[in-house]
Copies of this chain bind each other. A is one copy, B any other.
Amino acid sequence: MSFNTFGRVFTFTTWGESHGPALGATVDGCPPGVALDEAFIQQFLDRRRPGTSKFTTQRQEPDQVRILSGVFEGKTTGTPIQLMIENTDQRSKDYGDIAQAFRPGHADITYHMKYGLRDYRGGGRSSARETAARVAAGGIAHAVLRDLAPQLTITGYMVQMGTLHLDRANFDAEEIGNNPFFLPDASAVPAWEDYLNGIRKDQNSVGAALEVLIRGCPAGLGAPIYAKLDTDLAAAMMSINAVKGVEIGEGMASAALTGTDNADEIRMGNDGPRYLSNHAGGILGGISTGQDIVVRFAVKPTSSILTPRRTINQRGEEIELITKGRHDPCVGIRAVPIAEAMAACVILDHLLLDRAQTGGTRGRIG
């Protein structure tokens, strides 16, 4: 019941603070015999790494992952895999001002109230740096999925930043990696750049909405009632820093739909059911249908901003606070690879769970 562990069979426990010597993830339950090396995991970390564009924090962290256990001669052994990423660019002095003050909208105050003390350097445990460890764990999940479900792909992208929305008519998955926003529409990139530059110059920050699309997921994953696939995906996304809402398929918009509209009608395809629509987002009753799984979530604006805000400090004094340091103007951007990692972990975990209970067999139709 470890508080810092995610998953049921394929589990990872993240550890580490923003300005400690290192952070990492302890991965347990990984199937044996899967090809894995540091380079494979590194590619996922590189996508999340700060300092790669002017729109993310200028902290320079190589985020080099080391595998300390669980892999032998290039293959997983079935024992725990320890992933460690050393912190190299901690400028703890930047944080002196906020050692005693609570940033509005930040976990500073709640950590203090709960634990009575906190590692204030860079947000300590509540820093987005923790997510590097998740991304590394997600790399292992990807390696296993490549073996167990080779047809499966997981693709994250931004669909909203502040007042700007993705025009789905222009959706082009190929473009996601070609711009600093993970935006699947090349034509919109200049406008997004201008917008975020404006936010940054205003010493402000802005929220975002992201989507993760999981294609090729086998039908039958998910364990009702309280280990539903959508429940676990929602928990996975909500656990990411600054996330305030999660949607599956139609999401909150389903409140406005009628039953006739919302029914995803079914015909018979060559190799199973063929659905005429996907309002459900690929999950019914907590179990995957075999359609695309669509998860969307919102990330609130970075709470560390250069504009002064009223707050208090640990002595109970009322103050105004400016958060110096190196912060993302839109922390949602870097959530894309994190969400992909979490999705990979959830899908793999359910794949293993399903073969525990059902042996991976499927009910026949026709």
The reply to whether A5 and B2 form a contact with Cβ atoms under 8 Å apart is: yes
The reply to whether A266 and B102 form a contact with Cβ atoms under 8 Å apart is: yes
The reply to whether B114 and A268 form a contact with Cβ atoms under 8 Å apart is: no
Which of B15, B16, B259 sits near A206, CB closer than 8 Å?
A: B259
A9 to B239, CA, bound (A): 20
Interface: A142 (CB within 8 A) = no
The reply to whether A256 and B15 form a contact with Cβ atoms under 8 Å apart is: no
Interface: A252 (CB within 8 A) = yes
The reply to whether B301 and A251 form a contact with Cβ atoms under 8 Å apart is: no
CB distance from A355 to the nearest CB of B (A): 6
Which of B72, B162, B256, B357 sits near A162, CB closer than 8 Å?
A: B256
Q: List 19 A-B contacts (CB under 8 A).
A: A13-B26, A13-B28, A15-B68, A20-B68, A21-B68, A79-B119, A105-B279, A111-B287, A114-B222, A114-B354, A114-B363, A125-B224, A160-B256, A225-B239, A226-B235, A235-B235, A244-B247, A252-B298, A265-B310
Which residues of chain B have C-beta atoms less than 8 A from A207's C-beta? 254-258, 262
Which residues of chain B have C-beta atoms less than 8 A from A230's C-beta? 238, 244
- Contacts A4-B28, A115-B358, A353-B356 known; list 12 others, CB within 8 Å: A3-B226, A14-B80, A21-B68, A72-B117, A106-B284, A114-B221, A162-B256, A205-B258, A206-B257, A207-B255, A241-B285, A352-B357
A13 to B83, CA, bound (A): 13
CB distance from A223 to the nearest CB of B (A): 4
Within 8 A of B (CB), among A214-239: 219-228, 230-232, 234-235, 238-239
Which residues of chain B have C-beta atoms less than 8 A from A253's C-beta? 245, 298
Which of A112, A125, A288 has the most chain B CB within a 10 Å cutoff? A125
CB distance from A21 to the nearest CB of B (A): 5
Known contacts A4-B226, A289-B109, A305-B263; A16/B68 CB under 8 A: yes
A102 to B287, CA, bound (A): 14
Which residues of chain B have C-beta atoms less than 8 A from A225's C-beta? 3-4, 14, 125, 130, 239
Q: Mark A110-130, 1 if CB is under 8 A from B, else 0.
A: 111111111100001110001
Q: Mark A64-107, 1 if CB is under 8 A from B, else 0.
A: 00101110110101111110100000000000000000101111
The reply to whether A305 and B11 form a contact with Cβ atoms under 8 Å apart is: no
A6 to B225, CA, bound (A): 9
